[in-house]
Amino acid sequence: MPLDAGLLGDLAGIVGPHHVIVDPAIRAGYEVDWTGRFRGRAGAVLRPGDLAETAAVVELCRQHGIGLVPQGGNTGLVGGGVPADAAYDVVVLSTRRISWIGDPDAVPGQVAVGAGTTLAELQRALGRAGAELGVDLASRDSATVGGMAATNAGGMRVMSHGTMRAQVTGIEVVLGDGRIVSQMRGLSKDTSGYDLSGLVVGSEGTLGVLTALRLKTIQLAERRAVAMIGVATIEAAVEIALGLSRDRDAGLRAAEVVRGATIERTCAARGTAPPYEGRHDWHLLVECAGNLDPLPAMARVLGDHAGLIGGSALAGEGRQLSEIWAHRERLTEVLARLGPPRKLDVSLPLAAMGAFVEGGAAALGRLVPGAEMHVFGHLLDGNLHLNVLGVPDDAGEAVDGALLRLTVDAGGSIGAEHGIGRAKRQWLHLVRPPDEIEVFRRVKQAFDPEGILNPGCLLPDPLPA
């Protein structure tokens, strides 16, 4: 049943009639996720403009038993930001209008920001003040800071600055029962009780709707340099990256890895060539940054590892640097065009990655001969993104199950930085014992007693009594 006209009128009274979207053609963009794999139907899309409107919308939906799916930039890769199915008794709550950036100089080393602000918008504003955020993602033009906090996003610089959780020093959030929790004072130290922001960060919209955040900032690095290197094994890539991370002058801040077959496939699709000759089983992309030019230290460390290096390209600031980064940053988009792929984002002990990829490719070959396992990721975080092409829908669950079980057997986690969402909630039991899932349910009950926030996301359905 579509939403009741009286309720739609009351919602329009809160957010304004232009910000209650019921037209199916406009709604459609909010009902399908970035990958195109997850779609549902919402009774309406609501676009509140601030905290008060958000709290009033949540309270009204609570009174009417309407589920709410918080959505930021809709770049999530596990289906958590769109409705689960064709259920009209769910609305999408888009935070994109809650976009503002506080004075970066008001509290040293911090900035207050509206949850619907995109990362790129924040980066531009901080850049003008000589600062930047410790987290960076290729989806920066659309991903919002609220969505990044809700997924505890990682990205390219976790090895030096941590995930989104490490950047958050305060939140403003509307809980499922309409309560507002605001911890935006910007105190560097506060041990007065439970860390509610720590719980909301990474909760994927199931505990509250974030309307504002206070984030740590870091000094903008003045000089950058990148290198892309062809190597024979992932172990060699780790050895080189660790060599750079130990060198104080190099200032390593990103170490990305891409499987050789993945570079070849995506370069062909983009009509471009890899940055050096020859076929290599793995490619390592490293970025160093600091106030002095990191290129000489970088070249010296790479020289020390010459025996492991099959081909390489180095670049300081400029077009060549962006072209090298494009080999890594365009992967998600290009593989999406070739697919959609089945996407699995896993983390593993560094020493287990090589055997895991070999075992995963062999298992895939047995299940779906001819399917392609493309692999890239954040090397020193042990975080690999598996993108499997050529899997028919009816084999999808078997493929996911096999690869996720291999992950757990190798001592890893089935969710590294994209979250659990709708994609992996039925696999949560592989990494979380029943007692922990029960504690999750109790936390959910405390924040969202009527279960209206993001139904069908993160938590598995309870077992039948």
Ligand X SMILES: Cc1cc2nc3c(=O)[nH]c(=O)nc-3n(C[C@H](O)[C@H](O)[C@H](O)COP(=O)(O)OP(=O)(O)OC[C@H]3O[C@@H](n4cnc5c(N)ncnc54)[C@H](O)[C@@H]3O)c2cc1C
Chain residues binding ligand X by CB under 6 A are 34, 69-77, 80-81, 95, 115, 137-139, 142-144, 146-148, 150-151, 153-155, 204-205, 209-210, 332-333, 417-418, 421, 454, 457
Q: Is the Cβ of residue 155 or residue 310 nearer to ligand X in the bound state?
A: 155
Find the shortest distance in angstroms from Cβ 316 to ligand X: 23
Name the phi and psi angles at 280, rounded to 5: -135, 140
Q: Is the Cβ of residue 155 or residue 290 nearer to ligand X in the bound state?
A: 155
Find the shortest distance in angstroms from Cβ 163 to ligand X: 8
Other CB atoms within a 10 A radius of the CB of residue 318 amount to 9
Find tokens 């390593």 and name the residue: 252
Q: Is the Cβ of residue 151 or residue 312 nearer to ligand X in the bound state?
A: 151
CA 4 to chain centre: 35
Sequence-distant (≥ 6) Cβ neighbours of residue 284 within 8 angstroms? 227, 228, 229, 231, 237, 240, 241, 255, 256, 257, 379
Q: Which of 391, 349, 353, 339 is nearest to 369 (CA)?
A: 391
Q: Is the Cβ of residue 84 or residue 368 nearer to ligand X in the bound state?
A: 84
H helix or E strand, kind and range, residue 416: none
Find the shortest distance in angstroms from Cβ 370 to ligand X: 26
Q: Which residues pair with 225 in a beta bridge?
A: 288, 316
Distance CA 175, CA 58 (A): 8
Find the shortest distance in angstroms from Cβ 151 to ligand X: 4
Q: Which of 298, 265, 271 is nearest to 283 (CA)?
A: 265
Q: Which three-class secondary structure state does DSSP give residue 446? A: helix
Q: Which residue, judged by CB position, is nearest to ligand X in the bound state? A: 147
Find the shortest distance in angstroms from Cβ 412 to ligand X: 16
Q: Is the Cβ of residue 73 or residue 341 nearer to ligand X in the bound state?
A: 73
b or e along 215-250 (b: 16 or more beta carbons within 10 Å of the residue's beta carbon)?
bbbeeeeeebbbbbbbbeebebbbebbbbbbebeeb
Q: Is the Cβ of residue 154 or residue 274 nearer to ligand X in the bound state?
A: 154
Q: Is the Cβ of residue 94 or residue 407 nearer to ligand X in the bound state?
A: 94
Q: Is the Cβ of residue 302 or residue 444 nearer to ligand X in the bound state?
A: 444
Distance CA 256, CA 382 (A): 10
Please, what sign has the CA dihedral across residues 161, 163, 164, 167?
A: negative
Runs of H (alpha helix) within 310-375: 319-329, 331-338, 353-367
